[in-house]
């Protein structure tokens, strides 16, 4: 009996092997990519995702990293959902910008897509998220702020954008939860954009706001409001006086990352091609300049590392969203 | 900031470098063209140009993008006047009297006065920018959720009150608009409303699709009903220059509404649509001939045109002085110049004064260039009126569909476009005012979200109304704007009665 099972298993394996080598033969991966590449920005022209996609396209071309021509196409809608839906039906000559929204859309019940269906190709950048208080605020430090929230979670108006379940929101929830605050009672005012959040903090219409460091650092340096904590693992060069959450006794690092996502079922060779291409791209001067101008940090991870990273991220977001009291 | 004459001169010299003049001219021309086409607004044009600006000097990129923006303000009213199809939210008010003027055979004069009004409004705003940028930036910060909510209530009330004699229809129109604006994800709770499971609807219905549908498609459908009727005598396009009498009537409205548009433009999120509508309703209230408004009163066109161009200039103040985009277009510009390494914000004026002054000077020169360009184009543009409907309407339809697609890259919008085309048709046939509906769609969602946020800040509705001197002023203005039409007709009646009794 055992023997029969063994033979069956062996022949099954052979058939599988034959099938996969068939596929490989058809594709002839040695000359990937062999036609025009499509690069999806899951947003309208003019936004951050679109700008990132176009900048990457320009660098890959100008530095001769990718020979095939590459077109950026815009597929806006549903926090990236439309673009990723489109990607899920394409072949290896297509890729898209992605971010944690790929994970949170699903967890919040807004999408059926999960990252596991795709081929994560790279993580490229991160922005760190800052928490700022208005001028004249009674809370000097992040610890003061959290102590007050612990006493009365609803006593402070917190400005965020552009939606609940977003990074700016969840990073604050995570910090507060780690500190022991009842996060389901927090009072969030949700604005449409980071600019609106900034206006309302400058005008004192909210007490606290969370924003990307790139959005808030100029105002902090000009003394218009005060950043009390950032979500990075260590202090930033441009903001040497601002402590991290860790220094404030809240053990948390929270990146707002962006990466590149490939369609389902890419071959080893195709993945290797992009590992090499993006590995080369992140070393170029024009890439470094792009990061600096936008206030982004290098966060490069290749395909394998990104897959592992997304797994960790999903676990983290699942737990966070479950405990945040968000409506799904 | 203090006014440094030397810095202004340096900026001027940088501006008149041939390359920068070229960018101003190119931007102004592109802006005029996209402004004219329904749906293709400045935000789309600039977004598509971003890859080109990658290699550019940041100041030149900013000059180019700004020229597109205010160029579109000039262009937007062209199609409002000639075809009754505004290219953008801020050009809607130009249809109220601009289109009737064109129908009366004054198309040339309408185009000329709107260019002149735009120029003067723009120049007033540039001067305002130089003198008042910093203090105004901090004044704008005093607008919190309660203030914005009441500003929008005031704007809606002013526009409803315009529909004199049919205020009920105005209210119905506004309510439909407000209902449309509730479609999409609700920011405060993250709940999806009326999206029917469609991903594309989660971000709501784009007001530009509603505008294009109701005006462009609706207008075409309406004309289709009468397409086979024999065409009357060829419409005269009139002179292309305004008369002394017309100038006398529009002079003060233009000068009055420049500063108003500028101040509203400075408020982040308010923008040209609100500015031009408020200016129109203000002019109607103060005019000696309010009955001519809507029938082709030249001041009814001049006032909003001055105002919306001033608002476009004003919108750059929060963007440059605070790094806060005041409108969709400035948000795109902000993103683009950040990519180029500029850091707009409170430190920009200190760190890059040369850039700021070059930019301000470019707006002076740009406005002058645009008025010349637009007046030169009058002769060509009025030919549109001679185009046979069988040629013209298919072209408008095509542009409407292209414009709609560029807004969201989705075919769902086509369906919405057609639906609103029929809505526009029926409203026209039943003589409903469309402006309240459109304005409600534009401001509705912000108005609701600001109201909900104010409820967190203040315990109850009374608290919102009396939150600050600004809110109290806005409440009073709202009551006055709604009450004035009734009051004036009551006074007239009383006077008439008195006269009658005296006669007896």
pLDDT tens, residue by residue, A46-105: 777 888 898 899 999 999 999 999 999 888 888 899 999 999 999 999 999 999 999 999
Range scoring the smallest mean pLDDT among A149-158, A305-314, B262-271: B262-271
Q: Using CB atoms, which residue from B43, B47, B203 is nearest to A77?
A: B203
* SS3 labels along B179-246: HHHCCEECCCCCCEECCCCCHHHHHCCCHHHHHHHHHHHHHHHHHHCCCCCCCCCCCCCCCCCCCHHH
Query: Rounded distance, CA B137 to CA A267, Å?
Result: 55
Q: Where in chain A is the domain with CATH 3.40.190.150?
A: 37-126+255-323
Q: How confident is the model at residue A20 (pLDDT cuts 50, 70, 90)?
A: very low
- Residue range B357-375: average pLDDT? 91
- Residue range B62-85: average pLDDT? 90
Q: Give chain B positions within 8 Å (CB) of A204.
A: 141, 144
Are B110 and B121 in contact by the 8 Å Cβ rule? The answer is no
Query: Rounded distance, CA B273 to CA B279, Å?
Result: 10
A212: β partners: A129
B135-162 pLDDT tens trace: 888 888 888 999 999 999 998 988 888 7
| ipTM value | 0.81
| Interface contact A203-B449, CB threshold 8 A | no
Q: Which residues neighbour A253 within 8 Å (Cβ) at sequence distance 6 or greater?
A: A231, A232, A233, A244, A245, A246
pLDDT for A23 equals 44
Q: For residues A7 and A174, which has the higher predicted lDDT (pLDDT)?
A: A174
Furthest C-alpha separation in chain A = 81
pLDDT at A3 over 60: no
pLDDT at A207 over 60: yes
pLDDT for A318 equals 94
DSSP A243: P
pLDDT for B453 equals 92
| Interface contact A157-B457, CB threshold 8 A | yes
pLDDT at A11 over 60: no
- Residue range A254-269: average pLDDT? 95
Range scoring the smallest mean pLDDT among A41-55, B223-237, B366-380: B223-237
| Interface contact A48-B335, CB threshold 8 A | yes
Q: Which residue has the tokens 């009727």?
A: B229
Range scoring the smallest mean pLDDT among A67-81, A140-154, A228-242: A67-81
* Nearest in space to B183 (alpha carbons), one of B171, B170, B167, B200: B200
A262: β partners: A119
pLDDT for B502 equals 66
Range scoring the smallest mean pLDDT among A5-19, B88-102, B165-179, B474-488: A5-19
Distance from B424 to chain A by nearest Cα, in Å?
26
pLDDT for A19 equals 46
Q: Give chain A positions within 8 Å (CB) of B331.
A: 46, 193, 195
Distance from B411 to chain A by nearest Cα, in Å?
12
Q: For residues B416 and A324, which has the higher predicted lDDT (pLDDT)?
A: B416
Q: Give chain B positions within 8 Å (CB) of A211.
A: none
Total residues belonging to chain B: 504
Averaged confidence pLDDT in chain B: 86
| Interface contact A51-B336, CB threshold 8 A | yes
* Nearest in space to B246 (alpha carbons), one of B107, B113, B98: B113
pLDDT for B185 equals 86
pLDDT for B503 equals 62
The conformational region for residue A64 under phi > 0 = left, psi -120 to 50 = alpha, else beta, is left
- Residue range B444-453: average pLDDT? 91
* Nearest in space to A228 (alpha carbons), one of A149, A305, A291, A287: A149
Mutation target to probe the A interface, by most A beta carbons within 10 A, among B334, B345, B403, B449 is B345
| Interface contact B202-A58, CB threshold 8 A | no
Percent of chain B surpassing pLDDT 70: 95
Range scoring the smallest mean pLDDT among A71-85, A113-127, A302-316: A71-85
Mutation target to probe the B interface, by most B beta carbons within 10 A, among A41, A45, A110, A201 is A45
Q: Is the dihedral of CA B88, B91, B93, B94 positive or negative?
A: negative
Model confidence, pTM: 0.84
pLDDT for B3 equals 61
pLDDT for A14 equals 47
Are A92 and A98 in contact by the 8 Å Cβ rule? The answer is no
Angle between helix axes B42-53 and B58-83 (nearest 10 degrees) is 150
| Interface contact B143-A203, CB threshold 8 A | yes
For B421-458, letters b (16+ CB in 10 Å) and e give bebbbebbeeebbbbbbbbbbbbbbbbbbbbbbbbebb
Helix, strand, coil in percent for chain B, rounding step 5: 80, 0, 20
pLDDT for B469 equals 93
Query: Rounded distance, CA B344 to CA B329, Å?
Result: 15
Q: Which CATH architecture has domain A37-126+255-323?
A: 3-Layer(aba) Sandwich (3.40)
pLDDT for B459 equals 79
Distance of CA B86 to the CA centre of its chain: 9
* Nearest in space to B166 (alpha carbons), one of B428, B432, B430: B432
pLDDT at A257 over 90: yes
pLDDT for A63 equals 92
* Nearest in space to A266 (alpha carbons), one of A40, A107, A33, A10: A33
Q: Which two tokens stand for residue A255?
A: 């990146």
* Closest chain B residue to A225, measured at CA: B346
Percent of chain B surpassing pLDDT 90: 36
Distance from B160 to chain A by nearest Cα, in Å?
27
pLDDT for A178 equals 94
Q: For residues B224 and A231, which has the higher predicted lDDT (pLDDT)?
A: A231
10 Å Cβ neighbour count for B306? 36
Range of the domain at B320: 5-227+234-503
pLDDT for B348 equals 82
* Nearest in space to A248 (alpha carbons), one of A156, A325, A133: A133
Range scoring the smallest mean pLDDT among A18-32, A45-59, B44-58, B298-312: A18-32
- Residue range B356-374: average pLDDT? 91
pLDDT for A260 equals 97
Instruction: Give the angle B4-B10-B12 at the CA atoms, nearest 5°.
Output: 105
Q: Give chain A positions within 8 Å (CB) of B336.
A: 46, 51
CB pairs A-B closer than 8 Å = 146
pLDDT for B471 equals 94
| Interface contact A203-B142, CB threshold 8 A | yes
Are B82 and B321 in contact by the 8 Å Cβ rule? The answer is no
pLDDT at B269 over 80: no
End-to-end CA gap in chain B: 68
pLDDT for A21 equals 43
Q: Using CB atoms, which residue from A54, A163, A293 is nearest to B341?
A: A293
Q: For residues B418 and B52, which has the higher predicted lDDT (pLDDT)?
A: B418
pLDDT for A113 equals 93
Q: How many domains does chain B have?
A: 1
pLDDT for B347 equals 79
DSSP B411: T
* Closest chain A residue to B321, measured at CA: A219
Fold of A128-248: D-Maltodextrin-Binding Protein; domain 2 (3.40.190)
> Exposed (0-12), middle (13-18) or buried (19+): which is B252, by Cβ within 10 Å?
middle
């Amino acid at each position: 009996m055992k023997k029969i099972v063994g033979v069956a298993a062996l022949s099954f394996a052979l058939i599988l092997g034959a099938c996969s080598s068939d596929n490989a033969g058809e594709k002839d991966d040695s000359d990937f990519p062999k036609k025009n590449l499509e690069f999806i920005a899951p947003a309208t022209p003019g936004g951050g995702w679109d700008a990132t996609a176009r900048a990457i396209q320009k660098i890959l071309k100008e530095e001769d990293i990718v020979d095939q021509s590459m077109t950026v196409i815009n597929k806006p809608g549903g926090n990236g959902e439309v673009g990723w839906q489109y990607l899920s039906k394409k072949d290896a000559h297509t890729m898209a910008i992605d971010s944690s929204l790929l994970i949170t859309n699903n967890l919040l019940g807004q999408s059926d897509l999960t990252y596991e269906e795709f081929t994560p190709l790279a993580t490229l950048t991160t922005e760190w998220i800052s928490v700022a208080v208005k001028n004249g605020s009674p809370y000097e430090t992040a610890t003061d702020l959290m102590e007050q929230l612990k006493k009365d979670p609803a006593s402070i108006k917190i400005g965020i954008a552009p939606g609940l379940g977003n990074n700016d929101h969840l990073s604050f929830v995570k910090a507060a939860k780690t500190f022991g605050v009842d996060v389901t009672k927090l009072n969030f005012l949700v604005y449409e954009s980071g600019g609106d959040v900034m206006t309302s903090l400058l005008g004192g219409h909210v007490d606290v706001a969370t924003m990307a460091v790139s959005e808030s650092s100029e105002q902090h340096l000009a003394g218009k409001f005060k950043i009390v904590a950032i979500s990075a693992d260590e202090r930033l060069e441009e903001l040497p006086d601002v402590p991290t959450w860790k220094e404030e006794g809240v053990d948390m690092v929270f990146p707002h990352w962006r990466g590149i996502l490939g369609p389902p079922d890419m071959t080893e060779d195709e993945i290797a091609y992009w590992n090499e291409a993006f590995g080369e791209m992140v070393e170029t001067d024009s890439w470094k300049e792009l990061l600096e101008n936008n206030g982004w940090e290098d966060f490069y991870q290749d395909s394998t590392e990104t897959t592992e990273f997304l797994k960790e991220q999903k676990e983290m977001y699942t737990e966070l969203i479950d405990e945040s009291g968000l409506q799904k | 900031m203090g006014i440094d004459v030397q810095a202004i001169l340096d900026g001027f010299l940088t501006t008149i470098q041939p390359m920068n003049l070229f960018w101003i001219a190119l931007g102004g021309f592109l802006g005029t063209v996209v402004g004219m086409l329904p749906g293709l607004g400045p935000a789309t044009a600039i977004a598509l140009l971003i890859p080109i600006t990658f290699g550019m000097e940041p100041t030149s990129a900013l000059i180019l993008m700004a020229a597109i923006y205010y160029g579109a303000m000039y262009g937007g009213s062209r199609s409002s006047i000639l075809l009754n199809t505004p290219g953008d939210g801020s050009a809607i008010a130009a249809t109220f009297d601009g289109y009737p003027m064109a129908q009366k055979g004054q198309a040339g004069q309408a185009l000329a006065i709107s260019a002149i009004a735009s120029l003067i409004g723009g120049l007033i705003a540039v001067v305002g920018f130089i003198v008042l940028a910093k203090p105004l930036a901090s004044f704008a910060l005093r607008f919190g959720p309660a203030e914005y909510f009441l500003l929008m209530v005031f704007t809606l009330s002013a526009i409803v009150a315009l529909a004199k004699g049919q205020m009920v229809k105005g209210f119905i129109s506004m309510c439909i608009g407000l209902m449309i604006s509730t479609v999409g994800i609700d920011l405060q709770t993250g709940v999806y409303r009326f999206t029917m499971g469609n991903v594309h609807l989660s971000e709501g219905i784009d007001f530009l699709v509603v505008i294009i549908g109701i005006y462009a498609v609706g207008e075409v459908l309406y004309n289709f009903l009468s397409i086979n009727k024999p065409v009357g005598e060829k419409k005269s396009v009139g002179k292309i220059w305004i008369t002394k009498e017309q100038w006398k009537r529009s002079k003060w409205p233009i000068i009055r509404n420049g500063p108003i548009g500028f101040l509203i433009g400075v408020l982040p999120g308010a923008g040209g649509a609100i500015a031009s509508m408020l200016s129109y309703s203000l002019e109607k209230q103060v005019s000696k001939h309010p009955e001519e408004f809507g029938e082709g009163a030249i001041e009814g066109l001049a006032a909003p045109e001055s105002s919306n161009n001033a608002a476009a200039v004003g919108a750059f103040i929060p963007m440059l002085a605070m790094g806060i985009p005041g409108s969709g277009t400035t948000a795109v510009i902000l993103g683009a110049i950040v990519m180029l390494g500029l850091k707009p914000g409170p430190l920009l004026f200190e760190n890059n004064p040369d850039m700021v002054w070059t930019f301000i000077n470019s707006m002076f020169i740009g406005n002058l260039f645009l008025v010349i360009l637009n007046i030169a184009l009058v002769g060509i543009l009025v030919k549109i009126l001679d185009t046979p409907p069988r040629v013209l309407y298919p072209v408008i339809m095509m542009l409407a569909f292209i414009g709609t697609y560029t807004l969201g890259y989705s075919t769902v919008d086509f369906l919405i476009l057609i639906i609103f085309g029929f809505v526009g048709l029926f409203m026209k046939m039943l003589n409903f005012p469309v402006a309240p509906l459109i304005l409600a769609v534009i401001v509705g969602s912000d108005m609701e979200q600001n109201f909900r946020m104010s409820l967190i800040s203040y315990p109850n509705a009374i608290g919102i109304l009396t939150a600050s001197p600004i809110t109290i002023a806005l409440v009073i203005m709202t009551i006055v704007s709604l009450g004035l039409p009734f009051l004036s007709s009551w006074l007239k009646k009383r006077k008439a009665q008195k006269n009658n009794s005296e006669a007896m």
